[in-house]
Structure 1
Amino acid sequence: MRLSCMRLLPFCLIVSLTSLCVAQERPRISQELQASDSPKPAEGKKKANANPLVKVSKEFLATLDEDQRGKAVLEFGSEKRVAWHFIPMATRKGLPLMEMQAEQKEAAMKVLRAAVSQLGYNKATTIMQLESVLRKLEGPGGANERNPEKYYFTVFGSPAQQAKWGLSIEGHHLSLNFVLQGNRIVDSTPQFFASNPAELKDDFGGKMTKGLRVLRDEEEHGFTLVNSLSEEQLTQAMLPGDTPTEIRAAGTPQPPTDEARGIAASDLSTEQQATLKKLMQAYTSKMKPLVSQRRWKLINDAGFDKVKFAWSGAKQAGREHYYIVQGPTFLIEFVNYQADAAGNPANHIHCVWRDMQGDFDLPIAAN
């Protein structure tokens, strides 16, 4: 009997190892599905539940004391939920990084990482670090205002699997706003990123190297598209009047409802349409894949041919320029008008993605 068992031992080991490999393989396959850019409809729920925002938000809040929670947590129905802006302020809603301990900061940054894509996280954290560059360029006078830890985290309501709640991460040149149903992001606008300087003209130490352009794609794809237009196409694309100095409806709860202007995607060549899509992807790719995919589904369902592109100002860097990309479901605005803190002209970008069906998961008619 012992001999039989010994003979069977290799077989048993093979079976056990095979079972172990299969068990270990399943998570890898699941991760590959979660990373897919084109999920099947049946996978949507699984992917939404894979987002750890509820978990990391609870963990962040658990690190806070009572006074800190009083700043970091507001009612979902609070008017402050729809009060957003990107300008420097003495104080904002929420709890800033500068009032957190190291463990709390780490937990807060996990919330940011869970809310956006890796690209979005990299851009957001680089924008935060640009505050140190501004401090150096502006001198002692900007010491209090320019602080890479002056970014505020606010949770609206209670993060829970079945609950509707909100999240805001905001400071100078960054405003990220989310409405969630459990772990599922149901709205992610306004989505605002900005950069001053738009391009670093000198080295400032660390990752702040000469030539750094946080919003390079948002600008370069715009230049590529406008410079590819024929004279006839330009007559449709160019906006009349002076170049706008700022995006419209900055800080308001809902986007401007003006009719879309410019040249329609249907009047662009195949190559130009591809460039337009790259330009739009520079904005959608800052969000999690499911959010990006949902935006593109809405765009395509409403008709990509209806998307319009409009331009104002110079068609090369170093001079003021502005563009709009607008479709039935979304609005992009980009402006590079102001000089940077060192005085270099048109080296200060503001850009935003807004929901033409309503920001903050609120119908436009409700505001």
Structure 2
Amino acid sequence: MSPNEVTTRSVRELVAADMADRAAEWLATLTVEQRVQAQFASPMAPDAEAERLRWFYTPTDHGGLALRDQTAHQQSLAMQLVASGLSRAGYATVATVMGLENVLDQVEGWHVRWGRQRGRDPSLYWLRLFGRPGDPVWAWRFGGHHISLNYLIVGGRIVSTTPCFIGADPASTALLGAALRPLGGPEEAARQLARSLDSDRYQVALFHKSAVSDIVSGNRPTITHGDTMMHMQDLWRGRFTDPALRDLVDDIDRRAEEGSGYTEADHAATAIYIPPTGLSARDLDPDQRGILRNLIDLYSGRAPSALADAHTAHYAADDVLDHVHFGWAGSLQAGEPHYYRIQGPELLIEYDNTQRNANHAHSVWRNPRSDFGLDSLAEHRRLAH
């Protein structure tokens, strides 16, 4: 094992230990009734694993104990656990997105309900543990509208931090004398890369002249060859029984599809393929490769800084970056609908800003080989038997 590998291992152990301490402290404050919602069985249990792989970014029940059902002290401890899984900048972004629910409520005229008393509720974010903190295998997740954080710890080491979803609605909103854009950095960096391409290379990178209306991977637990965009109706925990809510979801999906103008053939053009489509990093000049590396860092930088540094070092290697592809769909003009994807063997990044007149952004960071730590969990099961 090289010195770098030793350092990375020790960092993963330190992060996992911090998570375990904060999770245990939160858990110790819960009542018996709260624990029923907060704590699920170990990821080693098949039933628990099926639930752990269900993740969402819509305003649906994400599963777990909601912040609104916790005391102020419990909420503080819950957010301390959330912060342990993020860099300082990542935590600030997540906290901002949660607060945007108040702004979105006003944007929508305070009347959208989604089958609950308040449809846009910054206290409706759920925390759930799988197993007990410090067990040989345990996991936790935190999510609500436009947030989904998922972690797996095996043998006292954090082995997975993906899928990691962060969205923003509105994507840009006015402050006094400034603008608030939680995902502005990743949007502008990708646009800079796309604009830097000459005509020939831009055509290779271009998936479609129009932007697909959502991230293509959706909330699938795993990525497979040929995946096309999931429709709104499939992004919830079950189907609505209320006809008015079913009609609302259908209408949102219909308007999104009409806005993109996509047919089945268009969705096939923007599908996820393995090996990836788009422009290979091999065909970028040194400055463009630097932009691409910076763009990847803006996603892996969501993780605790020591883990993020390891990701940066990984993609600093030219032979690793060479296997990454970049693709774009839609307009290059700021304020107009667009979508981009960065894909490699261990990397899938997607970003769209298309809905609500290109003022509603989604972004996700994934690892097709190791989302939810499924590879590490399979190896643990093999060694345990």
Place the TM-score, normalised by the shorter chain, in its bin. 0.7 to 0.9
SS in 1 for 2:141: strand
Q: Which amino acid aligns with 2:54?
A: A
Q: Which amino acid aligns with 1:243?
A: A
SS in 1 for 2:358: coil
The one of 120, 123, 139 aligned to 1:149: 123
| CA distance in 2: counterparts of 1:153 and 1:88, whole angstroms | 15
Confirm or deny: 8 A CA contact 2:222 2:371 kept in the other structure. yes
Pairwise mapping of residues 60-75 of structure 1 onto structure 2 (< 5 A)? 60-75=26-41
| CA distance in 1: counterparts of 2:101 and 2:186, whole angstroms | 20
| TM-score, structure 1 normalization | 0.81
Higher relative contact order, structure no. (Cα contacts within 8 Å, ≥ 6 residues apart): 2
| CA distance in 1: counterparts of 2:224 and 2:123, whole angstroms | 31
Whether 1:177 aligns to 2:150 is: yes
CA drift at 1:88:
1.0
Whether 1:49 aligns to 2:13 is: yes
| CA distance in 1: counterparts of 2:9 and 2:339, whole angstroms | 39
Confirm or deny: 8 A CA contact 1:84 1:253 kept in the other structure. yes
Q: Decide which structure has the larger Cα Rg and report it.
A: 1
SS in 2 for 1:64: coil
| CA distance in 1: counterparts of 2:371 and 2:169, whole angstroms | 26
Unaligned runs of 5+ in 2: 226-272, 379-385
2:98 matched residue in structure 1: 128
1:304 matched residue in structure 2: 321
1:134-159 Cα deviation digits (max 9, x unpaired): 11222231361111111000000111
Whether 1:189 aligns to 2:128 is: no
Q: Which amino acid aligns with 1:139?
A: G
| CA distance in 1: counterparts of 2:155 and 2:20, whole angstroms | 7
1:268 matched residue in structure 2: 284
Pairwise mapping of residues 152-171 of structure 1 onto structure 2 (< 5 A)? 152-160=126-134, 163-171=136-144
The one of 221, 225, 236 aligned to 1:253: 221
Confirm or deny: 8 A CA contact 1:284 1:295 kept in the other structure. yes
Measured at CA, do residues 234 and 50 of structure 1 come closer, stay the same or move farther in structure 2, by a change above 3 Å?
A: same
Q: Which amino acid aligns with 2:119?
A: E
Q: Tell which deviates more after alignment, 121-130 or 353-362.
A: 353-362
| CA distance in 2: counterparts of 1:315 and 1:298, whole angstroms | 29
Q: Which amino acid aligns with 1:187?
A: S
| CA distance in 2: counterparts of 1:164 and 1:150, whole angstroms | 27
Whether 1:326 aligns to 2:326 is: no
Pairwise mapping of residues 203-214 of structure 1 onto structure 2 (< 5 A)? 210-214=178-182
Confirm or deny: 8 A CA contact 1:255 1:354 kept in the other structure. no
Q: Tell which deviates more after alignment, 142-151 or 129-138.
A: 142-151
SS in 2 for 1:132: helix
CA drift at 1:182:
5.2
| CA distance in 2: counterparts of 1:267 and 1:140, whole angstroms | 49
SS in 1 for 2:171: coil
CA drift at 1:189:
1.0
CA drift at 1:294:
4.3
Whether 1:224 aligns to 2:195 is: no
1:14 matched residue in structure 2: none
Measured at CA, do residues 315 and 232 of structure 1 come closer, stay the same or move farther in structure 2, by a change above 3 Å?
A: same
The one of 85, 93, 108 aligned to 2:56: 85
SS in 1 for 2:189: helix
| CA distance in 1: counterparts of 2:6 and 2:211, whole angstroms | 47
| CA distance in 1: counterparts of 2:130 and 2:281, whole angstroms | 38
Confirm or deny: 8 A CA contact 1:49 1:183 kept in the other structure. yes
| CA distance in 1: counterparts of 2:181 and 2:173, whole angstroms | 7
CA drift at 1:297:
5.5
Q: Which amino acid aligns with 2:59?
A: P
Measured at CA, do residues 137 and 290 of structure 1 come closer, stay the same or move farther in structure 2, by a change above 3 Å?
A: same
The one of 290, 302, 315 aligned to 2:332: 315
Unaligned runs of 5+ in 1: 1-38, 204-208, 340-344
Confirm or deny: 8 A CA contact 1:159 1:182 kept in the other structure. no
| CA distance in 2: counterparts of 1:277 and 1:352, whole angstroms | 16
SS in 2 for 1:111: helix
Q: Tell which deviates more after alignment, 285-294 or 271-280.
A: 285-294
SS in 2 for 1:105: helix
| TM-score, structure 2 normalization | 0.77
Measured at CA, do residues 298 and 119 of structure 1 come closer, stay the same or move farther in structure 2, by a change above 3 Å?
A: same
2:88 matched residue in structure 1: 118
| CA distance in 2: counterparts of 1:80 and 1:306, whole angstroms | 33
Whether 1:349 aligns to 2:320 is: no
CA drift at 1:362:
1.6
1:296-323 Cα deviation digits (max 9, x unpaired): 4655496211211111111021111011
CA drift at 1:80:
1.1
SS in 1 for 2:142: strand
SS in 1 for 2:81: helix
